[in-house]
């Protein structure tokens, strides 16, 4: 069973049809919508500030979601995928975003809807990512406009796949 801890009087809350890996950690002021999943060794730590997630958000293996005390919060929109070992810290992410494996998103970043942050990219503090963009590199910069085909083939496909993957574990009970 996932480690779900109250902190400073706040206990994580979630909507319907969510799944949490047995070794996922979810702490404090965390509110997530429906059909969310937090995968193996992922940490969602709302101890120092709030974390809000929309519907159909997946936090993949080893990812860390955190904030800065009395400074920054995390807000993730709907249909957001956080890749394996990504670090998402004190930022706002709108709907339909894929943050790739090992990416780092620092405080006060703002990622508009329908974007991909490439694997290994580092968004420096305060970076604003424009809608329908792909950002890559260190520090991350816009490398191209996201096509409808790539949007469907990556952003939508991965979010939908994680709903399917979570269902496999629910069926085994």
Pairing between strand 25-32 and 3-5? parallel
Mean pLDDT, the chain, integer: 97
Domain boundaries, the chain: 3-171
CA 99 vs CA 11, 139, 143, 145, 172: distances in Å: 26, 15, 15, 16, 29
pTM, to two decimals: 0.96
Name beta bridge partners: 169.
none
Please state which CATH number belongs to domain 3-171.
2.160.10.10
Q: Indicate the length of the chain as a whole number.
A: 173
Residues 18-45 pLDDT 10s: 999 999 999 999 999 999 999 999 999 9
């Amino acid at each position: 069973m996932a480690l779900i801890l109250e902190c400073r009087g706040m206990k994580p809350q979630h909507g319907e049809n969510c799944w949490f890996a047995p070794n996922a950690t979810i702490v404090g002021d965390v509110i997530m919508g429906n059909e969310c999943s937090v995968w193996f060794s992922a940490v969602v730590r709302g101890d120092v500030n709030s974390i809000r997630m929309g519907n159909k958000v997946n936090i993949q293996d080893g990812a860390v979601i955190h904030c800065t005390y009395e400074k920054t919060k995390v807000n993730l929109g709907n249909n957001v995928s956080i890749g394996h070992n990504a670090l998402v810290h004190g930022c706002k992410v709108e709907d339909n975003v894929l943050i790739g494996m090992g990416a780092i998103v620092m405080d006060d970043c703002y990622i508009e809807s329908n974007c991909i942050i490439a694997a290994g990219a580092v968004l420096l503090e305060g970076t604003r990512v424009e809608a329908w963009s792909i950002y890559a590199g260190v520090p991350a910069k816009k490398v191209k406009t996201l096509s409808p085909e790539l949007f469907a083939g990556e952003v939508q496909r991965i979010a939908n796949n994680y709903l399917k993957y979570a269902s496999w574990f629910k069926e085994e009970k």
